[in-house]
Amino acid sequence: TLSASLFEAFIILPVHLADAVKFFKRGKTGQHKEKRWFVFLKNIYTKTLKICLSRRYFVFLGMILVFFFSIWVAATQMKFLLFAGEGIESFWVRAEAKKGTPLDKMDEQLQHVENFISELPKEEVESYRTYIGGIQSEEGFDPNAKRGSHLGQITVFLTPMQQRERTPQEIAASIREKLKTIKGFEKLYTHLPKEGPPTGADIEVGIKGKNFSVMQEIAEPFIKYLKNREGVSNVNTSYDFGKKQLRVIVDEEKAKKYFLTVGQVATSVRNVFRGGVATTIKPEKAEEEIDVVVRFPEGARNDLNVFEKIFIPNSKGNLVKLTSVAYIEESEGVYLINHLDGKRVLYVTAQVDNKNATSLEVNHELQKKFKDYGNNYLNYSIFYSGEFEDQMKSRKNLLTSYAVALFIIFILLVAMFRSLVQPFIVMSAIPFGIIGVILAFWVHDMILPQGRPLNFFALMGLVGLTGIVVNDSVVLVDFINRLRLKGKDRMQSLIEAGEIRLRPVIMTSITTIGGLVSVAYGIGGGDPFLKPMALAIVWGLTFSTLLTLVGIPCIYAIIDDIMEKVFHRHMVKE
């Protein structure tokens, strides 16, 4: 788009202007008379600029204080979210009953939940759908999906956000309070899908080790803290029993007497159910050999008494009955065993409401509170993943992109002004834009009912704003240099450049701001992903324009003072 506008400015626009000049030459044209309101505005600006230039060091100090105040606000008073959650138009109510609960019983119990959902206002809920027999995300493959007759899930579809006053988080919170009155479930909770690309849970503490019982012991303090933390809900662990399993417990002393090892017992049992390769055959025209797998018949494999019929060959060539060296134990197994770097992992997960708690805040609290906690357990480690890990990666990538953008802008300005000093004057408009972005989001977060925290797209808007805010200062500094080259003194050049460039600076900023206001505030409909980006550009450009018209001349004069005192010369020869 900018490349096309550059082509239009250098090629197409001069042609149109040439035609316009021919047209106006036919009659007399007088000098354009400025409007009264603009003359009034220019007089106020000129007086303000003169006062600021005479007190330029105080003005510069004030701008520095405002900048550091905005940084303090961003660091201590504002929340940062990877995605604000505005684009969510559905949520889930998930239920887990006692293991072995039949489907018809789950259906009966979930009707109580459906009754609460049906009581929600029609302007908020469009429809809902009940699924019995599992819990899973409906947005593609879900590695944490569960299956079982004791599980159920209700998907609540909300109306478009323009038609309702409450956010999905507020609606889900209202349902959550009512769910506490329903009996018959081991777990009954709400779960909100993630906006944007797939990410982990809001809070996701990983505990890596070998023994599940030790990992559960390590997880207990985290669970207790999260359950008592305001704004945190749906605290769960990935250590979830549910599947029946048969364990073959080998008595090693007896196995030794029969000249058997645990490995031999395990191999024989596995061959009964999975099969073992007895031999291979190779047909005449085949290129590869075919394995012949031998195992028990299906009927025998499905019979619990099959273990009485298993005999294991020992190192002496004798057959030993399985039940002579081992016994069978029925127990409950876990739904899912996660692994990372070859070790088992237990995850403690939770959701945040983004009002009383955010993912970034709670994870920092956990890191601080349990800083040395993992040192008490040898060969076990604690790490923080999920949305927090994605936030850290996104922040690092954005900072890298921002640094690259600043470097490219600096190189281009050095080539344009043929100076290493003046690019810093031009780029001093960038902090003005940062001030505008931070203060705008801070105020909007306080006055808007749903809030307006800083998020990933706002930071993307800030990176894009970097290249926009320098435009006005480039024009202003270049015009100041031109006037000084014509022989005018510094003060006269600063004031005259401000007066002459006031109109184009305001026009270029207003046209950009006007084009993005509707996107920033959703006038006529808006996109939740683009709103923060547009809002950052609108208010960043607004603040930078106002401060550029006054701040850049002051900074120019200060730098020129330093050049004169240190190097005994001005930036531009007068």
Domain assignment present for 355 = no
Write down the mean pLDDT value for the chain: 83
* 8 compared with 298, residue with greater pLDDT: 298
pLDDT at 241 over 70: no
Give me the pLDDT at residue 222, please.
92
* Greatest Cα-to-Cα distance within the chain, rounded to the nearest angstrom: 121
Domain check: are 265 and 304 in the same one?
Answer: yes
Mean pLDDT across the stretch 183-204? 77
Average pLDDT of the segment spanning 159-169: 80
Which stretch of DSSP H or E encloses residue 96? strand 90-96
Q: Are residues 161 and 177 in the same domain?
A: yes
Query: Apex CA 189: angle with CA 185 and CA 195, to 5°?
Result: 155
Burial class of residue 191 (count of CB atoms within 10 Å of its CB; 0-12, 13-18, 19+): middle
262 & 187 share domain? no
Q: Is residue 219 part of a domain?
A: no
CATH number at residue 182: 3.30.70.1430
Strands 381-384 and 203-209: antiparallel
**pLDDT of amino acid 61:** 94
Domain that holds residue 251: 243-334
Within a domain: residue 7? no
77 with 114, same domain: the answer is no
Q: Are residues 113 and 140 in the same domain?
A: yes
Confidence (pLDDT) at 160: 82
Q: Kindly indicate the confidence band of residue 288, based on its pLDDT and cuts at 50, 70 and 90.
A: confident
Q: What domain count does the chain have?
A: 3
pLDDT at site 64: 93
What is the C-alpha end-to-end distance of the chain, expressed in Å?
39
Give the model's pLDDT for residue 52: 92
Q: From 315, 334, 353, give the residue that closes a domain.
A: 334
Question: pLDDT tens digits for 116-131?
Answer: 888 888 888 888 889 8
The mean pLDDT value for 323-352 works out to 82
**Domain termination site, one of 194, 224, 251:** 194
State pLDDT tens for residues 49-107.
999 999 999 999 999 999 999 999 988 888 777 666 666 788 888 888 887 788 888 88
Q: Is residue 185 part of a domain?
A: yes
Single residue among 179, 194, 209 that ends a domain in this structure: 194
Q: Are residues 415 and 546 in the same domain?
A: yes
CA angle 60, 64, 69 (to 5 degrees): 145
- 66 φ/ψ angles, rounded to the nearest 5 degrees: -65, -40
- Give yes or no: residues 72 and 190 share one domain: no
pLDDT at 411: 92
State the pLDDT confidence band at 151, using cuts at 50, 70 and 90.
confident
pLDDT in tens, 387-409: 888 888 888 888 888 888 889 98
- The band of 163, judged by pLDDT with boundaries at 50, 70 and 90, is confident
Residue 440 domain-assigned (yes or no): yes
Question: What does the pLDDT read at residue 144?
Answer: 64
Q: Per-residue pLDDT averaged across 331-358, rounded?
A: 80
pLDDT tens-digit map of 497-551: 888 888 888 888 888 888 888 888 877 666 777 888 889 999 999 988 888 889 9
Could you report the per-residue pLDDT of 434-443, keeping only the tens digit for each?
Answer: 999 999 988 8
328 has pLDDT over 60:
yes
Question: Other C-beta atoms within 10 Å of 127: how many?
Answer: 11
Residue 242 has a pLDDT of 60
Q: What pLDDT is recorded for position 161?
A: 76
Q: Say yes or no: 447 and 308 in one domain.
A: no
Q: Helices in 25-102 by DSSP H: which ranges?
A: 36-54, 56-76
Here the CATH number for the domain that contains residue 555 is 1.20.1640.10
Q: Are residues 418 and 313 in the same domain?
A: no
Whether the per-residue pLDDT at 473 is higher than 60: the answer is yes
- AA identity, residue 338: N
Confidence of residue 554 (pLDDT cuts 50, 70, 90): very high
> For residue 342, is it within any domain?
no
441 and 486 belong to one structural domain: yes
6 vs 565, residue with greater confidence: 565
Q: Per the domain annotation, does 167 fall within a domain?
A: yes
| 414 and 494 assigned to the same domain | yes
pLDDT above 90 covers a percentage of the chain that reads 12
Confidence of residue 335 (pLDDT cuts 50, 70, 90): low
With a cut of 80, say whether residue 336 has pLDDT above it: no
Tell me the DSSP string of 267-328. HHHHHHHT-EEEEEE--TT-SS-EEEEE---HHHHT-GGGGGG-EEE-TTS-EEEHHHHEEE
Range in 42-56, 295-309, 451-465 the model is least confident about: 451-465
Does the CA dihedral 284-286-288-291 come out positive or negative? negative
Is residue 3, in this structure, part of any structural domain at all?
no
Q: Which of 31-35, 97-101, 290-294, 382-386 comes out lowest in average pLDDT?
A: 31-35
Shared-domain flag, residues 563 and 458 = yes
Q: Tokens representing 474?
A: 């480039």
Give 84 or 211, the one with higher predicted confidence: 211
What's the pTM value of the predicted model, to 2 decimals? Answer: 0.69
Query: What's the pLDDT band for 183 if we cut at 50, 70, 90?
Result: confident
The residue ranges of DSSP E strands in 454-512, in sequence order, are 454-455
